[in-house]
Structure 1
Amino acid sequence: MNRSDVLLQIPAELQQFLPPKLRGLPVTVPADGDSTIGHLVESAGPPLPEVGALLVNGQEVGPGHRPVGGDVVDVLPIARPQAVPGFADAAPRFLLDVHLGALARRMRLVGIDTAYHNDCDDPTLVIQANAEQRVLLTQDRGLLRRKNLWFGAYVYGIRADAQLDDLLRRFALPLAPWTRCTACNGVLRAATREEVEPDLEPGTLDRVDTFARCESCNRVYWHGAHGGHLNEIVESAQRTVASLR
């Protein structure tokens, strides 16, 4: 390593954020005396919300620290489970960006307070996340790098089932299956057969005895033909949470 450079030691958990040609190799960046460690790390690839402690020559420093040539920086991953500021005694709330609709439906299915819109731009997402104190989930590194975002997290995985599993492990989230509307995130309440009868086909009433209605959008829910697949999602989530105890 050139003595005018800073060596960034990127762990396996964060290697995916590096350019492919740098993965598995030492990462060196010039030390100009002005750039902070936070800037150098994000310039290399990993967004700061995915970074845990930063060690310079073995000593922990903040992201505003300015390294000098010859420094060795250990970039540690987020420690799991990760705490969300302000939610020590309550389950955190989430906001998902426009590309995570399938994950949003699964999160609501298992009872996680999940806001989602399929037509929001990045500034609007940040405004809502900050105003409602929601963790912004995204696979857009640029969105996570916005300085005015109060709290965000990268969603790992390609398929929604894997994404949900990783999210549960990261935040050790409590579950309350079948309590939220998968369409609007509203709270579900039990409904009688008489209450829902005007909204359902007669054949449905003949086959089903238990109903719920969303308090926000009035959508009616019951276990139908797709119940088996939904049960599998819920049971898998419950196994993940149980494994963390």
Structure 2
Amino acid sequence: MNPPEIRVEVAPELALFVPPARRSGATALAVDGVSTLGHVVESLGVPLTEVGTLHVDGREVPVSHVPSDGESVSVRPVTRPQRVPGAPLRFLLDVHLGTLARRLRLLGVDTAYESADIGDPALAARSAAERRVMLSRDRGLLRRRELWAGAFVHSTNPEEQLRDVLGRFAPELRPWTRCTACNGLLREATKEEVADQLKGGTRKTYDVFARCGECGRAYWKGAHHEQLEAIVERALREFAG
């Protein structure tokens, strides 16, 4: 006697998570009458953070639905922009996304970042405690139940990563308001207040400064400002408003 079986079709946007043999059309999967549909979808390789809705025989069902023999399942991606209910939109990035963290902070997006590998349980616990969206390329981390919310970062290229996150979550952009080193808020500062951080040439050339209220780091329009300005202008042009 054949075991109970369902047919699952994964949206093209989620195909990269699925083994190549199961990426086109519907695939048959055995079910046990106990495991939830969420568990079945994750067993295919798709983190639930990437799933928008699940449909069974044309009707939307929760991840807790227990599939029955003969059902047809459609797995659909999150709708963009994705809204995260219940908390201000804030992010937490793992150790592999340092450049993305700095660019989000450059745009004024509240972004926590772990510069050391503290382990998946600790990252998930921080996401929950601070109600931050966990951004990672680690699918195992994104499957942890403790997460407040999460999202898979598709590219390894920082510019593409930034566009991906801004397009998915549409955060409010407030450039030049956060410290790229620690995420603290910046305030205007006099030259005297930051004098201990200035070398002779900088002290003579620049008069406008900002300082982080958390770590005290000083900022001014130095040699890399044009490059940073280009990042900000691209983001505002494409995503502001």
What is the TM-score of this pair, normalised by structure 2? 0.95
> CA offsets per residue over residues 88-132 of structure 1, 9 Å max, x none?
xx4x11110111111001011100111111212111111111111
Residue aligned with 2:33, SS: coil
Q: Counterpart amino acid of 2:60?
A: E
Distance 1:26 1:58 in 2: 14
- Structure 2: runs of 5 or more not aligned: none
Q: Counterpart amino acid of 1:188?
A: L
The equivalent of 2:226 in structure 1 is: 228
Distance 2:130 2:58 in 1: 38
Measure how far apart 1:34 and its partner are.
1.4
Residue aligned with 2:226, SS: helix
Q: Counterpart amino acid of 1:106?
A: R
The aligned length equals 239
The equivalent of 1:195 in structure 2 is: 193
Q: Structure 1 stretches (4+) deviating beyond 6 angstroms?
A: none
User: 1:214 is matched with which residue: 207, 212, 215?
Assistant: 212
8 A contact 2:106–2:176 mirrored in 1? yes
> CA offsets per residue over residues 178-211 of structure 1, 9 Å max, x none?
1111111111111112222232012102221211
> CA offsets per residue over residues 75-95 of structure 1, 9 Å max, x none?
0110111111213xx4x1111
Measure how far apart 1:66 and its partner are.
1.0
- Structure 1: runs of 5 or more not aligned: none
Distance 1:12 1:101 in 2: 29
User: 2:91 is matched with which residue: 75, 89, 94?
Assistant: 94
Distance 1:81 1:177 in 2: 20
> CA offsets per residue over residues 48-97 of structure 1, 9 Å max, x none?
1110111100011111111112111010110111111213xx4x111101
What is the TM-score of this pair, normalised by structure 1? 0.93
8 A contact 1:3–1:70 mirrored in 2? no
Distance 1:56 1:203 in 2: 67
Question: Percent identity among equivalent residues?
Answer: 53
8 A contact 2:179–2:212 mirrored in 1? yes
8 A contact 1:6–1:29 mirrored in 2? yes
8 A contact 2:3–2:30 mirrored in 1? no
Distance 1:27 1:238 in 2: 42
Distance 1:130 1:150 in 2: 4
Residue aligned with 2:192, SS: helix
Distance 2:24 2:232 in 1: 37
The equivalent of 1:147 in structure 2 is: 145
Measure how far apart 1:21 and its partner are.
3.2
CA RMSD across the alignment? 1.5
The equivalent of 1:29 in structure 2 is: 29
